[in-house]
Structure 1
Amino acid sequence: MPLVSTAELVTEARAAARAVAAFNVITVEHAEAIAAGAEAAGAGAVLQVSENAVKFHGGDLAPIAAATAAVARASTARLSLHLDHVEDVALLHAAHAHGFGSVMFDASKRGYGENVKATAEAVRWGHERGMWVEAELGRVGGKAGEPPLDAHTPGVRTDPAEAAAYVGDTGVDALAVAVGSSHAMTERTAALDHALISRLSGAVPVPLVLHGSSGVPDRELRRAVAAGMTKINVGTALNTAFTGAVRAFLQAHPQAVDPRRYLAPAREAMARTVAGFLRTVSG
């Protein structure tokens, strides 16, 4: 099936008061698992490649982008291609040429004024090329190399009034907000601020995005969607499933050397995880 746009998936989900899940791609097996999980759940999904994943592949966007796009086009599910957590402007500028219809430009580590300036320029550049642009306000935290953040620290969670001004000043198409989740959580114990989600949803005219959703229990995700979250980002949960399946296989078969033997169950485990998240947020 031809690639669909993230904008189309998000717009449809928002109109139906549900959400679309976006899953991080690191290897080809991740992309294949996302496609299989989406097919099993009968739902569309976003395949997103992060700047960190590009660095893992030697800094060259082309190979992982081509592989991910090929997997998506071979699938019967409606899938889009998204470039996630981009801080490098050169990588942002490579996105369109490699088939990405959307990008999350991340200037959240900068001061508010610099965030607005850099994001507005990224939005201008993206919109000139028909790209959908997401940004972040507040600090979700938890990514590799970052100090741990307390979600209750003043200035960490997203302020609704500031969010409204930010969206107006930058022209972003979607806004990732800090409401109690954190990147890289391996246990699903996060408690979200649902009242804040509702206030943010009422304050800004664009869809809200929840980063760090791997650590959020299903019941919390359903409440978040009901309160106004439209795009739900999932990464670590796939890696947890992948690594658990590989570890279990190698413990049972310590002499195995053919990676296909342990990558197959790893891919299957990720596909089940994808289907589970999709049924939770898009049902």
Structure 2
Amino acid sequence: MPLATTGTLLARATEARSAVAAFNVITLEHVEAVIAGAEAAGAPVVLQVSENAVKFRLGRLLPLARAAAAVAERACVPVALHLDHVRTDDLLRQAPDAGFSSVMYDASRLPYAGNLAATAAAVAWAHGQGLWIEAELGEVGGKDGRPALDAHAPGARTDPAEARDFVAGTGVDALAVAIGSAHAMTTRTAALDHDLLGRLSAAVPVPLVLHGSSGVPDGGLVAAVAGGIAKVNVGTALNMAMTASVRRFLADHPEAVDSRPYLGAGREAMAREVTRIIGVLTGGTTRA
């Protein structure tokens, strides 16, 4: 089927008080696994390509984007393409021609005023191209290998009043909020601030997004969706599933040199994790 748009999937999720799972992809195996897992769950899904993934792909966006679109268009569930954690205007401007319907423009490293100004400029350009734009206020830690911020550090949590003003001042379509999760967590020990989430949900008129979801226990994810999160970003959980599977395969087959069997095992492991996570977010009642 034709590519879906992130905005449409989020609008439906928000209306249903549910959430869309959004998975970061790095290789073609990631793409195939996410779509296979979503099809097994019977649920729509967002494929996300981050700026760091583009750097890994030798700075070229189109090869992975074209491959993702080709697989997505053959899926039996709605699939949208999203460009994640974009910090450069050059990459932002490549999004429309590469098939993305949405971009997460990340100026959260800047002080509030700088974040607002940079994001407003990005939104003005992107909306002119028909792009849906997500931004971040506060700082979801753990990016680029940096440690997560202390819970009480300035900027470590999103302030509801600032969030309301930020959305009004920038015109963003969704807001990633800092409520206790962190990127690149390999343990599921993040404790979300659900009281803060409730206040953010009441203050902000656009869908809220949870980054760093791999480190959140299942119960925390369920509560986050109930509290107003409409998009749940997952990346590290897939990499952990793939890496563990490849390690097991190579340990059991030390003579192996053909990459297809162990990459295939890794792809299957990621697909199972995608289906499991979608089931957590939807309470096991998924449909496209």
TM-score (norm 2): 0.97
Following TM superposition, by how much is the alpha carbon of 1:153 offset from its aligned partner in structure 2, in angstroms?
2.1
Following TM superposition, by how much is the alpha carbon of 1:146 offset from its aligned partner in structure 2, in angstroms?
2.5
Matched with 2:53 is 53
Give a deviation string over 1:134-170, Cα, whole Å, max 9, x none: 0000010102242432233232100000000000000
The equivalences for 1:98-177 within 5 A come to 98-177=98-177
Matched with 2:239 is 239
May I ask how many residue pairs the two structures share in their alignment? 283
| Percentage of matched positions with identical amino acids | 63
Is the Cα–Cα contact under 8 Å of residues 151 and 181 in structure 1 kept in the other structure?
no
Matched with 2:211 is 211
Following TM superposition, by how much is the alpha carbon of 1:48 offset from its aligned partner in structure 2, in angstroms?
0.3
Matched with 2:84 is 84
Is the Cα–Cα contact under 8 Å of residues 148 and 182 in structure 2 kept in the other structure?
no
Following TM superposition, by how much is the alpha carbon of 1:187 offset from its aligned partner in structure 2, in angstroms?
1.2
Matched, 1:197 2:228: no
Which amino acid in the other structure matches residue 77 of structure 2?
A
Give a deviation string over 1:231-255, Cα, whole Å, max 9, x none: 0000000000000000000000011
Following TM superposition, by how much is the alpha carbon of 1:102 offset from its aligned partner in structure 2, in angstroms?
0.2
Is the Cα–Cα contact under 8 Å of residues 44 and 78 in structure 2 kept in the other structure?
yes
Unaligned 5+ runs, structure 2:
284-288
Instruction: State the SS of the aligned residue for 2:144.
Output: coil
Matched with 1:73 is 73
Between the aligned partners of 1:48 and 1:111, the Cα distance in structure 2 is 26
Quote the RMSD (CA, aligned, Å): 0.8
Is the Cα–Cα contact under 8 Å of residues 13 and 282 in structure 1 kept in the other structure?
no
Which amino acid in the other structure matches residue 2 of structure 2?
P
Between the aligned partners of 1:145 and 1:271, the Cα distance in structure 2 is 25
Matched with 1:183 is 183
Instruction: State the SS of the aligned residue for 1:141.
Output: coil
Cα 1:145–1:237, aligned 2, differ >3 Å: closer, same or farther? closer
Cα 1:181–1:148, aligned 2, differ >3 Å: closer, same or farther? closer
Matched with 1:281 is 281
Between the aligned partners of 2:97 and 2:8, the Cα distance in structure 1 is 20
